[in-house]
């Protein structure tokens, strides 16, 4: 399956799901710009912020308190915001669309 990342300027990047890999790593491995993952997935930098489209937020699982705290400090936080390093991908996410905020251009 595939996940589509959409940059703030509308550029789309379709990448293959690597089950068990974090959504942040999946983006980095595929050179998707806008997902920096500066802290290496420690939930400490907020540079892997994505806004999931539609109902994907439900499939992605729930954010733990550490992530919610980090999201509180993240610019452009939306209701469907997640930190991509805290999402473990699976084939259930085939067709998922994740948008990047303007801040991460």
85 makes contact with ligand FES (CB under 6 A): yes
Residues 20-79 touching ligand FES, rule: CB under 6 A, are 24, 37-39, 41-48, 70
- Residues with Cβ within 8 Å of 15's Cβ and at least 6 positions away in sequence, in order, are 2, 3, 4, 5, 26, 27, 29, 30, 32
Tell me which residue has its CB nearest to ligand FES: 85
* Residue count, binding to ligand FES (CB under 6 A): 15
Q: Which residues bind ligand FES (CB under 6 A)?
A: 24, 37-39, 41-48, 70, 83, 85
């Amino acid at each position: 399956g595939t996940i589509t990342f959409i940059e703030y300027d509308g550029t789309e990047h379709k990448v293959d799901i690597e089950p068990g890999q974090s959504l942040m790593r999946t983006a980095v491995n595929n050179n998707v710009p806008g997902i920096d993952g500066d802290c290496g997935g420690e939930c400490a930098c907020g540079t892997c912020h994505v806004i999931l489209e539609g109902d994907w937020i439900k499939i992605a699982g729930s954010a733990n308190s550490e992530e919610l705290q980090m999201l509180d400090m993240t610019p452009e936080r939306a209701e469907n915001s997640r930190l991509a390093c805290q999402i473990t991908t699976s084939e259930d996410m085939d067709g998922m669309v994740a948008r990047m905020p303007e801040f991460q251009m």
